[in-house]
Structure 1
């Protein structure tokens, strides 16, 4: 298919895309961003969206989505102002716009989508509610705009929302963001069933990139999709007052229809793991689970960060501790949640844990976007105060902080310790870093150890104060 049908499909889709962009450009001509966000397009501008809709549906036909089966009945504008669509697994989910029609084309979309080459102008033509994942005020602005557009008598079309906020792999439904549920109005859940085998459409933060997914999907002769409109969900009084409860209950309805489980993980957890990956941490290191358990304990990350210097001092002097000591240090009662945290580190079932590992975990969760301070703390805790570390100490650091295999850590040590002295000094780190740039961040931390030492001794280790979600 890569040398026959896929290239033909790609050429035709790109030609239609260029025509789409021309039509969208004309429709948006003369309108400011403020005007686009204030009121829906009308008149001849609105009429130009119909050829866009037809061309878009034809594009998906060329991509292999020859027939989209529809199950259930779509609710009218009078019945519901909002469609809740899940699971969100791929950029191909945009096809739902063409299934629902232009009267239901008001969407909530990432801000980045409106800036993408070619596709950006098509997204803007739909006049979406743009969401920024980095702007701290974006959440409140998005909620206000959803409420405004969904009010009775509004001129805006029905709103399409993927409440998961990110793409997952369809094995479960992650937490629904509550923004769509704050208005407290009836919603219609919509389940997307992709039935193509092999499944080439899934696009997540770990796995094949967008171009690979696109090309493999082009190589499928037929891509099957079923859109299932579930019964309209009308919130009760309790759900109207609690958007998160409303969101959980609607998620349960879709999960039952999909016959898949739910999980309380969110996009922010995925983001945390992506940041961990960027700084060299394995994504399976359990950081997300650690974060969830911290929530169970009722510990705020800001509180954890404030307590880190104190924890570090305890760790240096105590080392291995029992669950009673653990509860005392955290000033918490012994509970199932605390036992769960303790069990994460009690790998051998001895009833004692290395408190230093817990401190490193706290540091990673409190500031996941930077590992330099975490490693500084790790070197301090595992022997770096004397100006060098041994092979055993390095293995312990990399195993506990990065779940690096012992043999890999030992190999790294041997590469740095060219003199075979059994110790690694800063000069050796620097020399090796010049040859191996991929370890530069790790070695730079060692250089900063002396600067951080005075702060640690005063109980004021200065962790990165940049705000992170």
Structure 2
């Protein structure tokens, strides 16, 4: 990194030199141009095939090599771990049976509590909430089955008969079994703020244990993916929490969820609302970019952080299957968990604080308490990672792009990013996640020529002769976000198609492509034509043409010969005429 305190000039000026004096302003604008000696054709580096749209190069902020989803103990390593697992296998069988029984008890109690309750939009009646104490007790037993015990749990069980006189119907043997193993291994720091002070709680998300603990501790209303409703047993239990379901990929569903968060947080008759703003689980060593749902209602928020200290077994639910994670948990002597309630974060009404700043202040408080790094990774990056794993990539983490940061500039949807990833992986990236020009052109059905090399050079901003998925994504959306892009697509179709017909024939398409790629043959034109002709009827209709360009924004360069004379500078800037 450059040392900004370095003041000694590289070239000292001789007192007898005749070099003209240079003003201070000129000194501060010295520019050095260095060509990459590895570039096969340096001239391409300075020719922009999208200049007709007023497009300049894009910036790729340095990527971090961090992987927030990596479980660090995927493999069983060491003699101690193997011996411990062998010793704990009989204990694991007992824990599994205990887990199943307590889950069944909680499920039955929840069914009774929900029986005949039709007005799910109103707060749960008190007698039904009291009945849910059985399920909350069962959730604590589930934590016990996973090796998490605490002294406070004994007090909780002792107090239950006083709270609920009918609690004595539970088998005495169950309580006795629990009392045998009450150790203080769930550490708490701080206390939950009263509901009327902080109606919303946000927490980092490391394991499936997190929501089980919060269910037992707070019995909150949670915000969860609508896919959870169909889960056997669990779906029924979380319905009793008056869950707010959301479809992450539906704008209307997200808007409805925000309205429900506002409504329930504003009414003290509802439980407090719990959200995991990261949207997915991590390994606990990083904090993902936050989704805004918890902060839009503009209510005070209490951040809570969970930690899972470990030496031999990482309990985080990252790139590890649920079955393997549960097996490893069952075969530990004990598992540690720490929960810290942080001071309430209040919106700054006097400064008219915007939502992202409110979220940033909360995230900073949580990252500081955890002593971890805030990143721009998001739930979308986890989906990109899973897609790369599904497509059997050697280093799937290289295809994460920090979508949280990219979304702030380009508004890239997760589904669009996944589509581009599939296309990029079909280019056969190497072990470092990079693609060379030959595979790039093969997948895009482009013939090697001056124009196609310029398109590749535009994406290859580091001029290394290879491109990454992040560069491919940024280049595509940098073109797509240009004010003239959509108008250029419309004009391109109008100039390609016959004035009478509402489609482009194969012959008309070939004539246009040859303007930019003179030596293209009929086979190459057919391959490219088929990418635009989505229904395969031998004609490119307008909606197909526009859809193909939206999915492949780099293709707009193919029609630049039609558009060079269709642009002019006006008082409003560069416009299509």
Both proteins in one fold, TM over 0.5: yes
Contact persistence 2:195–2:268 (CA under 8 A): no
Aligned: 1:80 with 2:213:
no
User: Equivalent residue for 1:249?
Assistant: 361
Residue 274 of structure 1 contacts residue 283 of structure 1 at CA under 8 Å; is this kept in 2?
Answer: no
Aligned pairs for 1:49-448 within 5 A:
49-67=132-150, 68-86=186-204, 88-98=205-215, 100-102=217-219, 105-151=220-266, 153-204=267-318, 206=319, 208-237=320-349, 241-279=353-391, 284=396, 286-289=398-401, 316-321=449-454, 326=458, 342-343=461-462, 346-347=463-464
* CA spacing shift, 1:315–1:243, aligned 2, 3 Å: farther
Q: What is the match of residue 93 of structure 2? A: 7
| Higher mean C-alpha deviation, range 63-72 or range 274-283 | 274-283
SS where residue 30 of structure 1 aligns? coil
2:530 to 445, 452, 461: 452
Aligned equivalents of 1:61, 1:355: Cα separation in 2:
46
Taking structure 1 as the reference length, the TM-score comes to 0.66
1:463 aligns with 2:548: yes
Deviation at 1:285, TM superposition (A): 7.1
User: Are the structure 2 counterparts of residues 292 and 89 from structure 1 closer, same or farther at C-alpha, using a change threshold of 3 Å?
Assistant: closer
**Do the aligned residues in 2 keep the contact of 1:174 with 1:265 (CA within 8 Å)?**
yes
RMSD, aligned CA:
4.2
State the distance in 1 between where 2:408 and 2:231 align: 39
Matched residue count? 360
Name the CA distance, whole Å, in 2 between partners of 1:284 and 1:257. Answer: 30
Shift of 1:358: 6.3
How many angstroms apart in 1 are the aligned matches of 2:226 and 2:137? Answer: 25
Residue deviations 1:361-401 (CA, integer Å, cap 9, x gap) = 8569999xxxxxxxxxxxxx9x997869xxxxxxxxxxxxx
- C-alpha offsets along residues 264-283 of structure 1, whole Å, 9 cap, x if unaligned? 12112222343344455566
Q: Compared with structure 1, are the counterparts of its residues 144 and 360 closer, same or farther at alpha carbon in structure 2 (3 Å cutoff)?
A: closer
Match of 2:111 among 25, 32, 35: 25
- Distance in 1, matches of 2:527 and 2:405, equals 30
Question: Which is higher, the Rg of structure 1 or of structure 2?
Answer: 2
Q: Report the Cα offset of residue 62 of structure 1.
A: 2.1
User: Residues 114 and 128 of structure 2 are in contact (CA less than 8 Å); yes or no, is this contact kept in structure 1?
Assistant: yes
Check 1:81–1:315 CA distance in 2 against 1; reply closer, same or farther (3 A cut).
Answer: farther
Cα separation, partners in 2 of 1:453 and 1:39, compared to 1, 3 Å: closer
Q: What is the alpha-carbon distance in structure 2 between the residues aligned to residue 232 and residue 360 of structure 1? A: 38
* Greater relative contact order structure (CA < 8 Å, 6+ sep): 2
Instruction: For 1:98 and 1:300, locate their aligned partners in 2 and report how far apart those are by CA, in whole Å.
Output: 34
How has the CA–CA distance of structure 1 residues 43 and 237 changed in structure 2, closer, same or farther, with 3 Å as cutoff? closer
Give the structure with the higher percent helix. Answer: 1
- Contact 2:113/2:131 (<8 A) preserved: yes
Structure 1's 297 and 11: CA in aligned 2 closer, same or farther, altered over 3 A? closer
SS across alignment from 2:293: helix
Q: TM-score, normalised by structure 2?
A: 0.54
SS at match of 2:373: coil
Residue 314 of structure 1, CA deviation: 10
Q: 1:14 to 1:464 in 2, by over 3 A?
A: farther
The verdict on how the C-alpha distance between 1:71 and 1:296 changes in structure 2, with shifts beyond 3 A counting, is closer
Contact kept in structure 2, 1:320 and 1:353, CA below 8 Å: no
1:297 to 1:240, Cα distance in 2 relative to 1, 3 A: closer
Cα pair distance change 1:220/1:294, threshold 3 Å? closer
Question: Which segment is superposed worse, 261-270 or 173-182?
Answer: 261-270
Measured at CA, do residues 111 and 384 of structure 1 come closer, stay the same or move farther in structure 2, by a change above 3 Å?
Answer: farther
Change (3 A) 1:55 1:273: closer
Partners of 1:225 and 1:13 in 2: how far apart?
A: 18
- List gaps (5 residues or longer) in structure 2: 1-86, 151-185, 421-439, 481-516, 552-577
Contact 2:376–2:402 under 8 Å retained in 1:
no
Structure 1 stretches lacking a partner, 5+ long: 331-340, 368-380, 389-447
